[in-house]
Amino acid sequence: MIRSLPSSKRYRGGFTLFIVLYFIFLFAPLVVTMVLAFNDSMYPSLPWQGFTLDWFFGNGPEKYGIFHDQTNLRSLYTSFKVALAVMIVSTFLGTCAAFLFEQENFRFKNALYFLMIAPLVIPGVILGISILMFSNTIGLFIENHMNVYASFLGPGFPLVVLGQSSFISTIVALVVSARLKKFDHTLEEAAYNLGANKAEVLWFITLKYLRPSIIGGAAMAFLMSFENFNTTIFLVGSQATLPINMYMQVRDGSTPVINAISFLLILGTSIFAVINLSKGNKKIL
Amino acid sequence: MMKNRRHIKWGFLFFFLPVVLWLFLLIVLPHLELLRLSFTKANTGKFTLDNYLAFFNEPIYWLTFVRTAGYSIIVTFIVMVISLPVSFYISKIVKERISGALMILILVPFWVSELIRVYGWMILLRESGILNHFFVSIGLFKEPVEMLYNDITMIMGLVYTSMLFMVVPVIGVMDDLDNSLIEAAYDLGASKTAIWRTIIIPHCASGLVNGGIIVFMLVLGSYLTPNLMGGKNSLWFTEQIYNQIILYFNWNQGAAFGFLLLALSSLIIWVLLKLTKQNLKEVVK
């Protein structure tokens, strides 16, 4: 049954087979996507036509590799900008929230805490449309009453950043809170006794202690923003982010350049995941 | 004392203001606006129930809604059934040394964006896909079969993309299960089914419910997987929302749909929490 108990060969063998199949199920789509990035064919499918790096470095006239594909490069750049901004905003908001809920006491604290974790169980599509509608209403109001057209309230970069931050901040807050809970407050008292003021204690003692979790939370925020689709699709303007751009190509039929992008992203996220996991950060949400 | 009490707590405000601004501007007010728009007429801005009546009068709308809900429950259930043995194997059967490595292997694919994972399945399953190529070449199929664009494939895709959010909490509770309970039952002659039914599954109930809440919410709100893997007839409710807002530009109708989806997911989560006497705080931990 379990490690310490004897079990029949058939039971053990059957169970192992099940797990092997499970892992094949888990990795088959990723492996296939990665391998086909190197197939010398116009379509992401078999038969194997020979090895090529054209889908990475090709510069026409037939095959434009990712490094010469202007549309995809531009969306990659947009995604980087968005992810960087979301990372900054949500790390700040999330860290503030962690301090607020772990160290302060005030009226309606529980209600506010409930509001903070709600975005985790609100479907991303709903967050997207409600923020779109709200900012549109404010934009109309400003236009009607002040005669200014507030373009930043329409779909586009600022709205995407705000929309993604609305729920990614919660994740950062949970990651930072988990570490702040274990903080030994006598360290702060010692610093006060030695003459430090509040800002100094915060900067030199508490934030220093929280640094691993803040960095971990920020990294996760970056990745989640980079991959987000459901919320972004409603808020994005003319500048598509990478997932949106890829989605349109996948939907309408694609060349293996999508496989090349996927190859790079899978490689990047796997390295990131292994580093993050080996540091004992098992939180996945 | 009096002077001290009137003194404004700057430290508190520094954390409090950003968090309150975030939660009200990006969560509370947008959702109120969503609710308001769902009850107003498109051009006049007058109160109306038409948007909700349209939902109940057009079978295509409420049928999609019911189908989406039903399939989400089925997917959640399948994910539970698969996750139990997988978690059991990793937590209890395999040698401890390997278990950590397997855990990382299980987590890595889920850091990769949903779009890439779905794309991998498309490459595998479509008519010109890898599996067809393979089956035709070994003579199992006479000619390629379209395996994409049907409900079963879509359900498999949804199971695939949401699996991790069940496996991780279930492994968590499985690790807490004391092996000696299983050993004792075994020594007293309990059958495997009896051990599973009376010890393992009851012990894992909380992990299953926590995972179930997240999986259900993700599946209900997913867009990419049903859109890219489902057929013409397997419309997901998020696609209806997308159509109303992006294609028909009927925001009021879209707001009503969005609110119905939000109400459904909140209701099911609430029921699950009540049934297991938990609160949301424990689930997101």
Question: Which chain A residue is nearest to residue B131, measuring alpha carbons?
Answer: A46
CA of B150 vs chain A CAs: smallest distance (Å):
16
Rg (CA), chain B: 24
DSSP assignment letter at B126: S
Structure confidence at residue A270 (pLDDT): 84
A32 CB within 8 Å of a chain B CB: yes
Structure confidence at residue B76 (pLDDT): 94
The residue of B108, B121, B137 whose CB has the most chain A CBs within 10 angstroms, and thus the best one to mutate to test that interface, is B108
AA letter at B252? N
- Residue B246 is encoded by which pair of tokens? 């992006």
Does the structure show a pLDDT above 50 at B4?
A: no
Average pLDDT rounded to a whole number, residues B158-180: 88
Contacts of B160 in chain A (CB under 8 A): 25-26, 29
Contact between chains at A112 and B19 (C-beta distance less than 8 A) = yes
Contact between chains at A272 and B111 (C-beta distance less than 8 A) = yes
Does the structure show a pLDDT above 70 at B159?
A: yes
Residue B45 vs residues A140, B55, B284: alpha-carbon distances, Å: 13, 19, 39
Domains of chain B: 51-284 (1.10.3720.10)
> How does pLDDT run across B77-109, given as a tens digit for each residue?
999 999 999 998 888 888 877 888 888 888 888
Question: Which chain B residue is nearest to residue A109, measuring alpha carbons?
Answer: B16
A111 CB within 8 Å of a chain B CB: no
Q: Are B248 and B104 in contact (CB under 8 A)?
A: no
Q: Coil, helix or strand for B282?
A: helix
DSSP assignment letter at B61: H
Q: Are A83 and A226 in contact (CB under 8 A)?
A: yes
> How does pLDDT run across B201-214, given as a tens digit for each residue?
888 888 888 889 88
Mean pLDDT, all residues of chain B: 85
Mean pLDDT, consecutive 10-residue segments, chain A of 285 residues? Answer: 74 86 91 86 76 76 77 90 95 93 85 90 92 91 82 86 94 90 85 84 86 88 91 88 90 83 88 74 48
Contact between chains at A100 and B86 (C-beta distance less than 8 A) = no
Residue B85 vs residues A166, B26, B94: alpha-carbon distances, Å: 36, 40, 12
Q: Which CATH class is domain A67-254?
A: mainly alpha
> How does pLDDT run across B228-274, given as a tens digit for each residue?
888 777 789 999 899 889 888 888 999 999 999 999 999 988 888 88
From the list B15, B34, B129, the residue facing A104 with the nearest CB is: B15
Contact between chains at B116 and A282 (C-beta distance less than 8 A) = no
Structure confidence at residue A284 (pLDDT): 45
ipTM of the complex: 0.87
Crossing angle of helices B10-23/A109-117, nearest 10°?
40
Q: Are A123 and B259 in contact (CB under 8 A)?
A: no
Structure confidence at residue B47 (pLDDT): 87
| b/e burial code for range B242-268 (CB count within 10 A of at least 16 → b) | bebbeeeebbbbbbbbbbbbbebbeeb
Contacts of A131 in chain B (CB under 8 A): 26, 30
Structure confidence at residue B104 (pLDDT): 81
Contacts of A124 in chain B (CB under 8 A): 221
From the list A27, A114, A133, the residue facing B255 with the nearest CB is: A133
Structure confidence at residue B8 (pLDDT): 60
Does the structure show a pLDDT above 90 at B30?
A: yes
Structure confidence at residue B220 (pLDDT): 92
Report the percent of chain B where pLDDT is more than 70.
95
Mention every residue, 6+ apart, whose C-beta is less than 8 A from residue A283: A174, A175, A178, A220
CA of B59 vs chain A CAs: smallest distance (Å):
22
| pTM greater than 0.80 (yes/no) | yes
Question: Which chain A residue is nearest to residue B241, measuring alpha carbons?
Answer: A125
- Residue A227 is encoded by which pair of tokens? 């991959």
DSSP assignment letter at B146: -
Structure confidence at residue A285 (pLDDT): 41
Domain extent listing, chain A: 67-254
Contact between chains at B16 and A106 (C-beta distance less than 8 A) = yes
